[in-house]
A = this chain, B = another copy of it.
Amino acid sequence: MSTEHFPIEPWCLREPALDLERLARTESLFSVSNGHVGLRGNLDEGDPHVLPGSYLNSVYELRPLPYAEGGYGYPESGQSVINVTNGKLMRLLVDDEPFDVRYGVLRRHERSLDFRAGLLDRQVEWVSPAGQEVQVRSRRLVSLTQRSVVALCYEVEPVGAPARVVVQSELVADEELVQLAKGDPRAAAALSHPLESEEYSAEGTTGHLVHRTKRSGIRIAAAMDHVVSVPDGVTVDLRADAVADWARTSITCRLEPGQRLTIVKLVAYGWSRRRSLPAVRDQVAAALTAAMAAGWDELVAEQRDYLDDFWERADVEVDGDPELQQAVRFGLFHVLQAGARAERRPIAAKGLTGPGYDGHSFWDTETFVLPVLTHTAPAAAADVLRWRHGTLPLAMERAVQLGLRGAAFPWRTINGEECSGYWPAGTAAFHVNADIADALTRYVAATGDVELEREIGVDLLVQTARLWLSLGHRTMSGAFRIDGVTGPDEYSAVADNNVFTNLMAARNLRAAAEVAVRHPDLAALLDVGAEEVAAWRDAAAAMCVPYDDKLRVHPQSEGFTEHAFWDFSRTPAEEYPLMLHHPYFQLYRHQVVKQADLVLAMQLCSDAFTPEQKRRNVDYYEPLTVRDSSLSSATQAVLAAEVGYLSLAYDYAAEAALMDLHDLHHNTAGGLHMASLAGAWTALVAGFGGMRDHAGELSFAPSLPEGLDRLAFRLVRGDRVLSVEIRPSEAVYSLVKGDTPMTIRHHGAEVEVAPGEPARRPLERVPDLQAPHQPLGRAPARRRRS
């Protein structure tokens, strides 16, 4: 029954037959979400399941963070995303038999997630153990237009013989979970039953539950209503029940073969930490009323319109590799789902698709996800930046606690407070602050959104610049050093002058100086004077960037190239990821790289390296980089493409795109890797498109690998949309929206793209250079060549 991979289709992910072995993975892959509400692809009837998941962005429970040996400034409490009230449950009884795919005969079980419809569709033909056949179809959506609303359409039809059918449509709170937090029974206890009932009801076709989290004190309400349709002459019996942790609408009828019971279930969610119970209850009731007024068909139509609009400006076309075509759309769809309606809430590393990483947001959001949203759904990017800005007071408190100035944003968080319990790979990774500043700077450059720059940008840039000035210091020779910090590579930590961190800090400092000059009124409110701006500029100019003169490469951090090499020849496949089989101290003291670090610096601070240096650095770091992090392959794709390793870039691009579809890191079960899904876009656009957006201008250096016949993508640029179409022999730039011409660069040369006047530029055929090798056994899968 199991097929290795999913069928290749351009606009949907389809599972032709149920594979219980990979149920946990499909629960993640078939998630539907709008960034506010997220539902894992659990089966409608609840069982079997691995991780039941219904999430509300920023609804978390607190759990203690214990330490064998404590230390000043360690966070004492962490946040964990919780599985909230499950509103997607539809249990079915056929005659006397509960519908369960593990019993009887499953004649057909097909699920598909349509990227243009935004719907999860499931079609089932099942023969009960007693021999009664039924057809079941369910469709499920989380509305992209009505933020709080989940809609389901559930249809049952007996085949061959009449059947008595009972559908129990439910809201269920505090579902039993497998243990999430290994090793600490107290943390597990805090998360296993986080909800306390405050109110419940069921009447007629409606039901509602109100709960509150025990420690974090977040109130959560869920309400449901139903529209039941049957053919004329069929009698429907309705019954409503509710207790503290569940509400149920039971719909009973007797159907002849060919007669169909159709139930539209609408669920609305609401939550608040501060609003009263009646307020939250009413908010949910209002959302439900609006959804009922719209009805299933309108919700479906709105969903399609929303997605048509998105794909119109965001689609990436890949000719010559249909699997990659499917994967990049799958990725874009899920990135959109994670951010579309997040609205001043974070985008977690796993979006709302699973409990992985405790539902935390990391630098992934700003460094990997926002660049994609900035160019495809800029309003969503702006909202995430507003969320960060909303946590600025907490980041400023944290800086004071750490003996620093400005703002120190958390390494991992939901509500803005630091949740990292291991400071060498948490607090010490200060680059997150520069990553935030960079995402903001690029967003403003791409959108021209000066209003957002004034609303949040000046604050963010000034306070992060202040952090860097307090973190670094001048040597007697005048260099500005940043010592004892951790860069992107988590297999090194607490090192001096990490090149990525230092270059990104310099960008941050320069950007702060620029906004202070652009917005003197706001700068004055923050007490930014000429002296401070000069200090930022000077520190940026004097920033220490270590270079190994003998090897003629940049050490990732000072001294890195003098460390011992990891012995890959003695590291068998089963010892990956290395951090699960080797102590940190060993990883840190060796030249072994978990994820692109210096190589990422070469992507994001491209102008700080010569082409020669880039090639040599790639050659140096490729044999050291094991990609135990999902954040690496897209970046390696971009740099491999830039330095001419086109086949290798293609391999990496495919790896990033297929991370979850092929479960390459064996943990898709816990949720999808948003950064890698976004990275698929980046690998294509910045890799083969060669797109860079450093100094506020767009540049391209297209070059296709053998096997790809055409790559086309679009970039939103303020009120314009630029289309880029690349074929082996030429690139065509055109404005598909916008009235004024736009200047870009193509392989260094200025190109003006005017409305109605596509600019064509021939491409030279560049040789596909022989790429350096990767650590033994860690090469990416070779992408089949056409």
Contacts and interface: CB of A to CB of B under 8 A. Distances in A.
Contacts of A580: 72
Contacts of A403: 582-583, 586
A213 interface: no
Contacts of A78: 68
A73 B583 contact: yes
User: Number of copies of this chain in the oligomer?
Assistant: 2
Interface stretch (A106-114, A384-392, A555-563): A555-563
Contact of A559 (B67, B421, B428, B496): B496
A421 B583 contact: no
B402 A586 contact: yes
Interface string A564-582: 1000000000000001111
Contacts of A68: 65-67, 74-75, 78, 420-422
- Most chain B beta carbons < 10 A, residue from A401, A485, A580, A583: A583
A585 B494 contact: yes
A278 interface: no
A315 interface: no
Contacts of A426: 69
Nearest to A63: B68
Contacts of A475: 562
A484 B588 contact: yes
A775 B69 CA distance: 28
- Most chain B beta carbons < 10 A, residue from A72, A75, A581: A72
A116 to B, nearest CB: 41
Contacts of A424: 424, 494, 585
A184 interface: yes
A67 B65 CA distance: 7
Contact of A483 (B67, B74, B428, B563): B563
A345 interface: no
B496 A583 contact: no
Contact of A481 (B65, B427, B562, B584): B562
A70 interface: yes
A275 interface: no
Contacts of A184: 66-67
A423 interface: yes
Interface in A161-202: 182-184, 186
Given A483-B563, A494-B588, A583 B402 contact: yes
B484 A427 contact: no
Contacts of A401: 583
A581 B400 CA distance: 12
A239 interface: no
Interface string A418-448: 0011111011100000000000000000000
A589 interface: yes
Interface string A536-566: 0000000000000000000000110011100
Nearest to A425: B69
Given A475-B562, A483-B564, A69 B584 contact: no
A69 B579 contact: no
A767 interface: no
B72 A564 contact: no
A467 to B, nearest CB: 13
B71 A579 contact: yes
A720 interface: no
A473 interface: yes
Contacts of A559: 483, 496, 558-559
A589 B69 contact: no
Contacts of A65: 68
A497 B69 CA distance: 26
Nearest to A70: B183
A70 B493 CA distance: 16
Contact of A423 (B485, B563, B585): B585
Interface string A484-510: 110000000110100000000000000
Contacts of A558: 559
Contacts of A73: 582-583
A207 B426 CA distance: 56
Nearest to A584: B71
B484 A71 contact: no
Nearest to A426: B69
Nearest to A402: B583
- Most chain B beta carbons < 10 A, residue from A421, A562, A581: A562
A71 B475 CA distance: 36
A421 B402 CA distance: 22
- Most chain B beta carbons < 10 A, residue from A69, A184, A473, A475: A69
Nearest to A484: B589
Given A66-B68, A70-B183, A424-B424, 13 more contacts: A67-B68, A67-B184, A68-B78, A402-B586, A403-B586, A473-B564, A483-B562, A483-B564, A484-B589, A485-B589, A493-B494, A496-B562, A558-B559
16 contacts: A66-B67, A68-B78, A68-B422, A69-B422, A72-B579, A72-B582, A73-B583, A402-B583, A402-B586, A403-B582, A483-B559, A483-B562, A483-B589, A484-B589, A485-B585, A496-B562
Interface of A: 65-75, 78, 182-184, 186, 401-403, 420-424, 426-428, 473, 475, 481, 483-485, 493-494, 496, 558-559, 562-564, 579-586, 588-589
In the complex, the 10 A-B pairs of residues with the closest C-beta atoms, listed nearest first: A68-B421, A484-B589, A66-B66, A473-B564, A65-B68, A73-B583, A69-B422, A483-B589, A69-B421, A428-B585
